[in-house]
Amino acid sequence: MSSSPQAGSKPGSPTSTPKAGSPTGSPPKSGSPTPGSPKAGSPTPASPKSPSGKSTPESVKSKKSPTSQLQKAIGSGGFVPQVQDEEYYTRPDFIYGGPFIAVKLPSPFLDIDTPRLVPLQGTFRKSFAYYSLKERLPVILTKIIDYLSREKEKIIRDQKATEEDVVKFMREVTKLKNDLVTNKEYAPLKMKSPDTEKWNLWIENQDNKKYFLNNWMFTECYVYRRLKEGCELTKTLKNFDYFEEQKRKAFQNNIEIMCLVADRMADMIAVSEPNKRKADFVTLLKLCLWANRCDLSLSLGSQVDLIQAAKDATEKLRLNPPPPPPTKGKGKKGKNAAPAGPIIISADPFQMIVDLKDKTIADDSNKIADQVVNKAAVMMDKVVAAQQALAFKTQCSCNRLAKQQGMPICEDPTPKPDPDDQPLEPPPPPPAAEGEGGEGAAAKPEPPKIPCPAKLTVPQTVMFDIVCDNAGYELFADMCLAHFLIEQKIVQKIRFHVKNMPWFVSDVTVRDFKFLIEACCNAQFSQPSSTGAVEEDGTPKVIKSDNLKVLGEQWKKYADEGIFLVMDEDFWTYPHCFKEMKKIDPNLYRKLQLAVAIMFKGDLNYRKLMGDVNANPYLKLQASLQGFLPAPIIAVRTVKSETICGLPKGRWDLLNQRDPKWMQTGDYGVLQWCPKGEALKVSDRPCIDYCTKCFGIICPEHLDM
């Protein structure tokens, strides 16, 4: 039997998840034994090749014998189901009076790519989601188990942890991996943490609770949240970052590239005429784009060495040169021709930008540079005007707004002085200042003038936001852009949004942010160039970290002064796409509305912008955002999953013809711009601090707005 659906089977609606795999509509039953379940957790060497040429560990391969037994049972007509598919095919059913026999059930897995506008899911066996859940994520988990076992003593020493806790965490990861590869249902979180109830409710509300059969976004985020829970369940590993060692190595591996960039920064931040300033802005945007290749989750935790990667890419091009552009008409290159591309990819980060020009398949960088500068100038005028006119509304209205919303009014829990304890004689009034009322007039202390966040419609400073992706070189590149925007006086503050837990292997946490600044300050690198840079006399150039240290020192100052602000709001590690932010976290949405523009970095953020569906590649970015318009948006990402928008007509089809897996490699990039942002109005709900630090009298000061 073949489980492949009809080729032309209709995709679901953009919002509805297709009832995966159950043509009858009923969800497949679980709980029956899964033949040939892989032995979870056995740390494993790599083996079979993935679509992108990566290898898979032994422990996640389907075992030969059960699969071939199964193949016998179902006949050889269809594809051989993978381990986690099997329970749907052969559930032992008891026939009254007879033996247990295998019963064929319809498979929930479809042998197709993700249909257009349908959420990315492990259900679609030709998709990167399926491949990622089956091959990538188990390897990432196996590597944690390997690391815990290999470095146990060091972890105990560094984390001041007990051996018992390391073993406990290892067991949790092993169980998680086993649950994933055998496609179990999500287990609720057990450890009481501030977000536990929310997560358990979200799990409860999923139509399909199985790892492969629910939306890829939910499953992946859930796996990273469960990893964190593995640590929360211990006494001594609560703050342990199991990816930290990999992130630190990644920084070291790319230090030469960072030195090269730092050497150019002095020239870029110096006062310059508008054309040069624009060209530098564009260059830095592209640097940020290609730095997104340094993603340790795509490389399954293997180090991404950019110099080596450039050499590999050159070799790949040599073996598989791009076809020449079609000669249409007078031999002009058609607008949508498959890119011819260069034959050498330089390891020099600035040359790389030029070499990869044809791989930047949507490039709004010029528009971004122009419009961010213009919008920032307009905003600067408003901010200055509001400050001069003292136009910020400082009277707290939160009690009124709470009443209006039908919310309970919050009482200040700080104990009030007991009137019975008051001295009988009131203290004499302080002497009135000159000109301040008549004799005996008590000088009322002036309440501090703090703008009420619920009433802010103009930010207190001009801010540019970066929703960060990976630590190490990618964060370094983001900071270079931030530095440029500050030194060129385009904006006054940069808000870096990072994750509050170890996330997708290499995502930035607050600790990584601080580490990068410290590591730049302390860098001590001096080596002959490995990118082929030479002095005038032809001798290899010695690359040094002097300018990198200068950058580090400046960033430290910025961070101390609040000009660089790092924020790790919970929403970034929720399993939700951004179109849901306004409903789930209106305070964060409101904070973002105060930015002059928000740059979203990386593939995962891009997926969240697209609603994690296989988007229409020819629809404009603004329409693809499905209403998520807190401020003008810049999407910067190397393509590592099957969703994209805003391509010129025909481009997606051409790229697909050439290589159906082109969206999985990270070889292509987009720099896209949506200029529209929703205007910020006075809020109809109390401020973000209501009931914690604000009790309707004075709103606390906000440095992030």
Ligand X SMILES: O=P(O)(O)OC[C@@]1(O)O[C@H](CO)[C@@H](O)[C@@H]1O
Binding site for ligand X (CB under 6 A): 132, 220, 292, 295, 297-298, 469-470, 504, 602-604, 607, 640-641
C-beta of residue 570 within 8 angstroms of C-beta of residue 498: no
C-beta of residue 402 within 8 angstroms of C-beta of residue 411: no
Q: How far apart are CA 523 and CA 546, in angstroms?
A: 8
Nearer CB in complex with ligand X: 87/568: 568
C-alpha 350, offset from chain centre: 25
Minimum distance between the CB of residue 40 and ligand X, rounded to whole angstroms? Answer: 20
Residue 119 to residues 130, 191, 346, 595: CA-CA distances in angstroms?
Answer: 12, 30, 37, 29
Nearer CB in complex with ligand X: 229/295: 295
C-beta of residue 517 within 8 angstroms of C-beta of residue 500: no
Q: How far apart are CA 693 and CA 703, in angstroms?
A: 15
Residue 637: closest CA among 612, 667, 681, 597: 667
Nearer CB in complex with ligand X: 209/640: 640
Minimum distance between the CB of residue 142 and ligand X, rounded to whole angstroms? Answer: 15
C-beta of residue 102 within 8 angstroms of C-beta of residue 631: no
Nearer CB in complex with ligand X: 17/470: 470
Looking at residue 267, its amino acid is: D
Minimum distance between the CB of residue 671 and ligand X, rounded to whole angstroms? Answer: 14
Minimum distance between the CB of residue 652 and ligand X, rounded to whole angstroms? Answer: 17
Minimum distance between the CB of residue 155 and ligand X, rounded to whole angstroms? Answer: 25
C-alpha 117, offset from chain centre: 21
Kindly state the DSSP code that residue 470 receives in the 8-state scheme. B
Rounded-to-5 percentages of helix, strand, coil across the chain: 40, 10, 50
Other beta carbons within 10 Å of 662: 17
Minimum distance between the CB of residue 659 and ligand X, rounded to whole angstroms? Answer: 16
Minimum distance between the CB of residue 208 and ligand X, rounded to whole angstroms? Answer: 19
Nearer CB in complex with ligand X: 554/643: 643
Minimum distance between the CB of residue 206 and ligand X, rounded to whole angstroms? Answer: 18
Nearer CB in complex with ligand X: 671/699: 671
Determine the number of helices (DSSP H) and then strands (DSSP E) in the chain: 23, 15
Residue 466 pairs in a beta bridge with 496, 599
DSSP string, 526-580: EEE-SS--B-TTSSBPEEESHHHHHHHHHHHHHHHHTSEEEE--GGGGSS--GGG
Residue 139 pairs in a beta bridge with none
Nearer CB in complex with ligand X: 86/507: 507
Nearer CB in complex with ligand X: 181/604: 604
Residue 566: closest CA among 512, 632, 629, 624: 512
Nearer CB in complex with ligand X: 54/544: 54
Nearer CB in complex with ligand X: 70/604: 604
Minimum distance between the CB of residue 138 and ligand X, rounded to whole angstroms? Answer: 12
Nearer CB in complex with ligand X: 472/630: 472
Nearer CB in complex with ligand X: 189/644: 644
**Backbone torsions φ then ψ of 636, nearest 5 degrees:** -125, 115
**Backbone torsions φ then ψ of 431, nearest 5 degrees:** -60, 135
What dihedral angle (degrees, nearest 10) is formed by the CA atoms of 667, 668, 671, 677? -100
C-beta of residue 364 within 8 angstroms of C-beta of residue 549: no
C-beta of residue 668 within 8 angstroms of C-beta of residue 361: yes
Other beta carbons within 10 Å of 285: 25
Residue 467 pairs in a beta bridge with 497, 600
Minimum distance between the CB of residue 296 and ligand X, rounded to whole angstroms? Answer: 8
Nearer CB in complex with ligand X: 214/641: 641
Kind plus residue range of the DSSP H or E element containing 428:
none
- Length reported for the chain: 705
Other beta carbons within 10 Å of 565: 17
Minimum distance between the CB of residue 675 and ligand X, rounded to whole angstroms? Answer: 24
Nearer CB in complex with ligand X: 173/269: 173
Minimum distance between the CB of residue 604 and ligand X, rounded to whole angstroms? Answer: 3
Nearer CB in complex with ligand X: 36/666: 666
Nearer CB in complex with ligand X: 288/396: 288
Q: How far apart are CA 638 and CA 577, in angstroms?
A: 19
Residue 580: closest CA among 207, 217, 204: 217
Residue nearest to ligand X (CB): 640
Q: Which two tokens stand for residue 607?
A: 């997926």
Minimum distance between the CB of residue 607 and ligand X, rounded to whole angstroms? Answer: 6
Burial of 15 (0-12, 13-18, 19+ CB in 10 A): exposed
Q: How far apart are CA 584 and CA 660, in angstroms?
A: 36
Minimum distance between the CB of residue 507 and ligand X, rounded to whole angstroms? Answer: 7
Looking at residue 133, its amino acid is: L
Residues 6+ apart with CB under 8 A from 35: 66, 69, 70, 86, 87, 90
Minimum distance between the CB of residue 602 and ligand X, rounded to whole angstroms? Answer: 3
Minimum distance between the CB of residue 509 and ligand X, rounded to whole angstroms? Answer: 14
